[in-house]
Amino acid sequence: MSLLEQLIDAFRVLPGVGQKSAQRMAYHVLERERDGGARLAAALAEAIEKIGHCQRCRDFSETVVCATCGNSGRDRQLLCVVESPADRLAIEQATGFRGLYFVLQGRLSPLDGIGPRELGLDLLAARLAEGEVQELIIATNPTVEGEATAHYLAQIARQHGVRPSRPAHGLPLGGELEYVDRGTLSHAFGSRSDIPL
């Protein structure tokens, strides 16, 4: 495989990028943005080497414990579970939420081989067993897999005497949190409700 073919193939790793888009990106970098391409390559290499996961919340972090988990001003009785770092950022930017997070890095999907272990639910259960968390806000996406994940998380919360809740009104069924506008997300988060048995 030639270097050009390798570059085009490398761009295809990005979500939503097919053969034609990858080809356009590769040609653009080579024709007009060689310096930008070099900066991109250096930033990508450094990020892959230095960014890992927080031991407490599983969000991306350059340190063992991320800045949010290390912030003593956060409400440690509230723990919000999200599917992705993008969802955590959306909530952080759109709401006044001052609790902590747990990032699943996915959702339950047995057909794709994603079960409780892949989502770090053993770590979440251990965290709930510490007794500090009083409410588990389950902010998984309102998709079929997200709802199944929410149900499973609510069971884990109840086993540890923690009240499970779910953001309410305004989140469209089948939608993704990172694409919901700030006002809708803020309203939904402020009017969350308990998950019934």
β-pair partners for 130: none
Whether 184 has a pLDDT exceeding 80, the answer reads no
Mean of pLDDT values over 160-172: 83
Q: Bigger pLDDT: 180 or 133?
A: 133
Quick: pLDDT tens for 5-47: 999 999 999 999 999 999 999 999 999 999 999 999 999 999 9
Q: What is the pLDDT of residue 102?
A: 98
pLDDT at 192: 73
Please determine, for residue 187, whether its predicted confidence score (pLDDT) is greater than 80. no
Question: To which residue do tokens 């653009």 refer?
Answer: 28
| Mean pLDDT of the 79-107 span | 95
User: Could you report the per-residue pLDDT of 38-87, keeping only the tens digit for each?
Assistant: 999 999 999 999 999 999 999 999 999 999 999 999 999 999 999 999 99
Segment 167-195 mean pLDDT:
75
CA dihedral 102, 106, 107, 112 (to 10 degrees): -150
Residue 118: the pLDDT is: 93
With CA atoms as reference, report the closest residue to 89 among 64, 121, 67. Answer: 67
Nearest-10 crossing angle of helices 19-32, 34-50: 120
What is the average pLDDT across 122-145?
A: 94
Q: Amino acid identity of 193?
A: S
Domains in the chain: ranges and CATH: 3-50 (1.10.8.420), 60-194 (3.40.1360.10)
Alpha-carbon gap, residue 77 to 61, rounded angstroms: 22
Provide Rg for the chain, Cα atoms: 19
So what's the pLDDT on residue 18?
94
Please give the angle made by the CA atoms of 138, 106 and 181, to the nearest 5 degrees: 60
pLDDT for the residue 1: 87
Predicted local distance difference test score (pLDDT) of residue 170: 65
Which stretches of the chain are DSSP H helices?
3-11, 19-32, 34-50, 67-70, 85-94, 121-129, 144-159, 182-190
